[in-house]
Amino acid sequence: MPPVTAELLAQNKRLVARDYRNRRVGDFLKELHLTEGRGTGIPTIKKAMEVNGSPAPVLETDDQCTYFLTVLPVHELASVEASVEGVEASVEVSDIASSMAPLLRYCNLPRTRKEILTHLGLAYHTTNYSRHILPGIQHGWLAMTDSDKPNSPFQRYVVTEKGKTWLSEHDEES
């Protein structure tokens, strides 16, 4: 690690290491373009932050070099993007929930994949299984009657206790 002092950081100069702790790790990171060379990651960080449009990183140390602190401020649009992603995820869950209620009601008795898809007015196709039945299994709302043989032609799907609970809560909201 190069001798990084508060004075050097303030000057915003290029830092070059003369002594290396682990040459192989440095070479590996350089090949992956994660650093620009041994001990010169700070300019790479600054450039990446600038290209991203993020505020400049805050780099500090004390005079005795007992610590080195790097603060990478969050881009101002990051919280907006996270909010949009959260809304999209909740809309997706809402879509699953609206299509799941009739399916769960129908599966009070064990039903085949074909029976379920026909009841929902859908073609007997893998895509429809993946979009409508599989999410119920993944959420734990539906169970396979023969879970040891998921591809069995005698496979049936039935609503679970968790599914019944969800259904009663969902019916109350409606």
Chain segment 86-131, per-residue pLDDT in tens: 555 554 555 566 678 888 999 999 999 999 999 999 999 999 998 8
Please check whether residue 102 lies inside any domain of the structure: yes
Q: In terms of C-beta density within 10 A (0-12 exposed, 13-18 middle, 19 or more buried), how is residue 116 classed?
A: buried
Same domain for 30 and 104, yes or no, is no
Quick: pLDDT tens for 28-87. 777 877 766 655 667 777 888 888 888 888 888 777 777 777 888 887 777 665 555 655
Do the domain assignments include residue 1?
Answer: no
Which residues partner with 69 through β-bridges?
60
Mean pLDDT computed over 138-158: 91
Domain count, the chain: 2
Dihedral over Cα of 28, 34, 37, 39: its sign: negative
Contacts 24+ apart (CB under 8 A), 43-51: 43/14, 43/15, 45/70, 45/72
Mean pLDDT estimate for the chain: 78
Q: Which of 71, 98, 119 is the last residue of a domain?
A: 71
Quick check: is 95 in a domain? yes
32/104 same-domain check:
no
pLDDT value at 16 more than 70: no
Same domain assignment for residues 83 and 67? no
Q: Check whether residue 24 and residue 110 sit in a common domain.
A: no
- Does residue 112 sit within a domain? yes
Domain of residue 131, residue span:
78-173
- pLDDT at residue 7 tops 70: yes
Domain endpoint, select from 71, 87, 108: 71
- In 3D space, the residue among 47, 21, 53 whose CA is nearest the CA of residue 34 turns out to be 47
Would you state the pLDDT for residue 1? 45
Distance CA 135, CA 92 (A): 11
Q: Report pLDDT for 38.
A: 57
CATH for 115:
1.10.10.10
